[in-house]
Amino acid sequence: DTAVSQTPKYLVTQMGNDKSIKCEQNLGHDTMYWYKQDSKKFLKIMFSYNNKELIINETVPNRFSPKSPDKAHLNLHINSLELGDSAVYFCASSQGSGLATDTQYFGPGTRLTVL
Amino acid sequence: AQSVTQLGSHVSVSEGALVLLRCNYSSSVPPYLFWYVQYPNQGLQLLLKYTTGATLVKGINGFEAEFKKSETSFHLTKPSAHMSDAAEYFCAVSEAGGYNKLIFGAGTRLAVHP
């Protein structure tokens, strides 16, 4: 049973398109996250939701919009894709209200390539 | 702002040798500390974490790390490397009292050769 799953695994698209990445967790966790890993493997948090409420919103272009329809799902929609958006996007989840001590469980990643 | 430094982007060891991956953080207030491992084309998996209590923390796969406040360090060690340990290792911190915003180091690629 996959704990944190993401779809699609690979996404290749043209500049200017709009795309979505979906994330689901079956761990019963209350908090979910999106991270971006660039070509140099550097990981940076983008957003976090606790029980469908946004609790962390880093300085991310407003072309990126997270949506949490319920606490088991956190989707990432990206408008007007740019070359610099090419990266691996990781979803994660943690139990509880998103405390700094909580362990985060990561999904397998979605590799986005913008041409 | 909090930052994490991992010395050595690539570390190579022989099978059976000691593994030492270095991590230093910048905050004057000790944060919570984590080590994650990423195998090729996979997500990150927690190896171990330090929040409070004993400063020597044992994790999965025989890894351990020691929190040293005076050195602002949280180095990861394993007495005897195995071929299956070859992966990317990330040190991360989160601020005590804050939300669970992990700040990652740049990662260290561990290679294990026969």
Chain A residue with minimum CA distance to B104 = A43
Residue A59: is its pLDDT beyond 80?
no
CB-CB: which of B34, B36, B99 is closest to A56? B99
Optimal mutation site among A102, A105, A110, A111, interface B, most CBs of chain B within 10 A: A102
| Alpha carbons B74 and A13: distance in angstroms, whole number | 40
Flag whether residue A44 sits within 8 Å of chain B, measured between CB atoms: yes
**What six digits make up the tokens of B20?**
């030492």
Residue A75 one-letter amino acid? N
**R_g (Cα) of chain A, nearest Å:** 13
Optimal mutation site among B36, B94, B99, B104, interface A, most CBs of chain A within 10 A: B99
B81-111 pLDDT, tens digit per residue, is 999 999 999 999 988 777 788 999 999 999 9
**What six digits make up the tokens of B99?**
């939300």
Q: What is the rounded average pLDDT for all residues in chain B?
A: 92
A74-88 pLDDT, tens digit per residue, is 999 999 999 999 999
- The confidence band for A101, taking pLDDT boundaries of 50, 70 and 90, is confident
Instruction: Please enumerate in sequence order all residues whose Cβ is within 8 A of that of A53, keeping only pairs 6 or more positions apart, or say none.
Output: none
Chain B residue with minimum CA distance to A3 = B43
Neighbouring CB atoms inside 10 A of B5's CB total 14
Q: Do B46 and A103 touch (CB under 8 A)?
A: yes
